[in-house]
Amino acid sequence: MLETGQRTMLSNDDYNELLYAQKGVCKICDKACSTGKRLSVDHKHGTRIVRGLLCLKCNAGIGMFQDSPGLLFSAIKYLQDAKKLDRRIVGVKWL
pLDDT at 59: 93
Which amino acid, residue 44?
K
Q: Enter the pTM of the model.
A: 0.75
pLDDT at 6: 46
* Measured CA distances, 68 to 3, 92, 94 (Å): 23, 31, 31
- Rounded-to-integer distance, Cα 30 and Cα 65, Å: 20
pLDDT at 92: 61
Q: Phi then psi for 54, rounded to 5 degrees?
A: -130, 150
Per-residue pLDDT of the chain (95 residues; tens, 9 = 90+): 555 544 446 888 999 999 999 999 999 999 988 878 889 999 887 777 899 999 999 999 999 999 899 999 999 999 888 877 755 555 665 54
Do residues 40 and 29 make contact, with C-beta atoms less than 8 angstroms apart? no
